[in-house]
Amino acid sequence: MSRLSGNRAHKRKQQRLVMGLAGLFGLAIAGALLVLAIGEGANHFRTPADLTERPIEPGRSFRLGGLVAEGSVDKLGDSTITFRVTDGAAEQLVRFRGIVPDLFREGQGVIAEGVLDSAGLFVASNVLAKHDETYMPPEVAEALKKRGEWREDADGKLVPVSSAAPASSATPAEPGS
């Protein structure tokens, strides 16, 4: 009988080993999927210049951010508008059907969620803005600072490079600013 009880103990050890390995395999798969999902989310935001440099295939959802270009808002009726989003280096035409936030206007920071259609038009499903007159989406601010279009003034507010110099300064602006 001791031989039978020895076989049972051996089988239980094998079962525990198999269950442990299966659990580790499941955790590895879950971790890999999590890393993949985070990686895709990290590339979710684009500026118009990013689209020019690295085009995105039509139908893929992403967020487009920048400033609403001056003179670009066109109300088409039936709650549809078109506008251009700019980052200072490039522009992207956007169409949105719905109600835009109260502070949506030309010259303000905006993030639009949607997809590019086959003609290259960004069809937005959502337009986001913050209820603060000085707000600029962090991703947009960072992209504009990297491109040298905007910088922080003495008060820590973001301003265009062209208006960053103090008004009392008699020094001419540097070329390219």
List pLDDT tens digits, range 149-176: 666 777 666 666 655 444 433 344 444 4
Using a cut of 0.85, tell me whether the model's pTM lies above it. no
Contacts of 160 (CB under 8 A, 6+ apart): 149, 150
The residue written with tokens 């200072």 in the block is 88
Q: Can you give the pLDDT at residue 81?
A: 96
Is residue 111 within 8 Å of 143, Cβ to Cβ? no
**pLDDT band per the 50, 70, 90 thresholds, residue 13:** confident
β-sheet bridge partners, residue 67 = 86, 109
Residue 80 CB neighbour total at 10 angstroms: 12
